[in-house]
Amino acid sequence: MKPSVNLLSPDNHALVLIDFEGQMAFATSSIALSELRNNVAIVAGASKIFNVPTVVTTVAEESFSGPVFPEVEEFYPMATSGYVDRTSMNTWEDEAAYKAITGKNKKKIVLAGLWTGVCIVGPALSAIEEGYQVYVITDACGDVSKEAHERAVQRMIQAGAIPVTSIQYLLELQRDWAREETYVPVTNLMKKHGGSYGLGIHYAHNMLKH
Give the catalytic positions in this structure.
119
User: What are the C-alpha distances in Å from 49 to residues 9, 119, 134, 139, 174?
Assistant: 12, 26, 21, 20, 10
Q: Which residue, among 50, 151, 57, has the nearest Cα to 96 in the 3D structure?
A: 57
- What's the CA angle centered on 107, arms 177 and 87, to 5 degrees? 110
Give every CB contact of residue 155 below 8 A, 6+ residues apart in sequence. Answer: 121, 125
Helix (H, G, I), strand (E, B) or coil at 15: strand
Query: Which stretches does DSSP call E strand in the chain?
Result: 13-18, 54-59, 84-86, 108-113, 133-137, 162-164
Helix (H, G, I), strand (E, B) or coil at 46: helix
